[in-house]
Amino acid sequence: MPSIDIDEDTSVETTTMKETPTLDLNAKVEIINFINTFDVKGNCYLYHEGEEKLVSTLLRPDDRKRISLMKELEEARTIRQLHKTRLFKDHPFLKKQKRIILLPYSSISKSHMQTSHYSEREINRTKIINTFWKSKLELHYDAAEASILVCSFLAQNIDRNTHGLGISQSKIAIVLGMSLRRVSDTLNRLEQLGYVRRYTEKAKRGKLSLGTFIQVTENFSSQFLPQKRSWESLRKSKNRVLSINHKTPLRSIIFNFCKV
């Protein structure tokens, strides 16, 4: 409330306003970030200092055109920059805080790793079929068919980064409509041929299986999956683009580039 001062000599009332401290918009904000980017719910908690409680917020909004929370925090350094972020617009109470504390929403053990798979057109199914069907391996019909099915399944479901898949043999059997014994025999065969590796852990008590991770080998990747372009190939591609005349038709430019 404004206070009233009375001048004794003139008996004139004057109004004095209490000055509020000006906010330095260029000041840096302390951000304490414990966000789990692989949170299974895709959320995180914000600490509300005024009410001493946790407030949940999305790591990434449903609208894909809008930037993710992690990206915003990486780019924002000052109060002025943070005021323009979705985080501050959705949670105005942050403007009064000297620091921002972000905490995990779900248990770390429930993290969901983001994966990327190979598309149908990237998988060389013809090579998979020719490798096992009436080939020099001389496999029987059932063995060849099972090998083709399992290899095709792995090629479509493994992660691009790890070239592996955490899955049980029983789950593969259910998906492919095969018996557990047939899946087991097929994986053993593929392992002997150098196409896959299996990693299985069992508990010391009761021999309880703790899960299986199947990873395809370099032999598998080089035959059935697209190859990463080498530095030499990229260099030649760059030189080819640089050597193109500016008057070259767009159609010719695209054709020449795609030949690399």
At 141 the pLDDT is 94
**Residue ranges per domain, the chain?**
30-110, 120-224
| Domain at 120-224: CATH code | 1.10.10.10
The pLDDT-based confidence of 225 (bands split at 50, 70, 90) is: very high
d(CA 245, CA 203): 65
Which of 148-152, 179-183, 240-244 shows the lowest mean pLDDT across its residues? 240-244
The pLDDT-based confidence of 37 (bands split at 50, 70, 90) is: confident
Is residue 6 pLDDT above 80, yes or no? no
The pLDDT-based confidence of 19 (bands split at 50, 70, 90) is: very low
Higher-confidence position of 9 and 172 = 172
The pLDDT-based confidence of 89 (bands split at 50, 70, 90) is: confident
CA-CA distances (angstroms) from residue 138 to 98, 135, 142, 238?
72, 6, 12, 45
pTM to 2 decimals?
A: 0.51
The tens digit of pLDDT for each residue in 128-164 reads 999 999 888 899 999 999 999 999 999 999 998 889 9
Percent of the chain exceeding pLDDT 70 equals 65
